[in-house]
Amino acid sequence: MFLEQFPIEGRANGWIEVICGSMFSGKTEELIRRIRRAEFANQALLLFKPKIDNRFSEKNIVSHKGSTFEAVIIDQAKDILSHWENQKIVAIDEAQFFDDSIIEVCNQLANKGVRVIIAGLDMDYQGKAFGPMPQLMAIAEYITKVHAICVSCGNLAHYSQRTVQQTEQVLVGAIEKYRPLCRTCYQQR
């Protein structure tokens, strides 16, 4: 479980939190949990998602469990800065779909005292680092790696096996295209 040990309340320090893991590991659910707590505390926040992620909703982030939260839909990471109006928290879902400019955007916000919360896949279906996620983890003050359950053996899973024949790196989908596997089962596929 993630232990939230953040800087002393009221200080001007910002920071970056990354929530990462495989498909079906609860990344979006954890992101929503954190922003709901901030919302309850009346902290001004903005939530963003990339336009490409339209699996469950055009305007909300939606977890596989069904939790939702309204988001600002953007094409590029730099669009975050044009929407930001000194909100204390900026949250970003599916960060792996953005280009590397998201790294600078997150750094700029954190340097201005913003709590930046990012969720995304750390690896693609081939088990390779996905987009800007490795660099975002490198600059983050806090990293939470969540795991799914392997649908083959029941162990902790951190691989996303693609179950369709398409080979492009970015293929938006859910249970109809992916399944979570542990290391052993992923290697045996």
d(CA 164, CA 49): 25
* The Cα angle at residue 77 between residues 75 and 78, in degrees rounded to 5: 105
* 94 in active site: yes
User: Which of 179, 5, 1, 174 minimizes the C-alpha distance to 94?
Assistant: 174
d(CA 110, CA 108): 6
Place of tokens 């922003």: 35
Please state the length of the chain: 189
Phi, psi angle pair for 135, to nearest 5°: -70, -35
Hey, which residues does 16 pair with through a beta bridge?
116
Q: Which two tokens stand for residue 58?
A: 């055009």
User: Which of 25, 41, 48 minimizes the C-alpha distance to 117?
Assistant: 48
d(CA 29, CA 9): 25
Catalytic residue (one of 94, 104, 168, 176): 94
Q: Which two tokens stand for residue 71?
A: 């988001």
Residues designated catalytic: 94
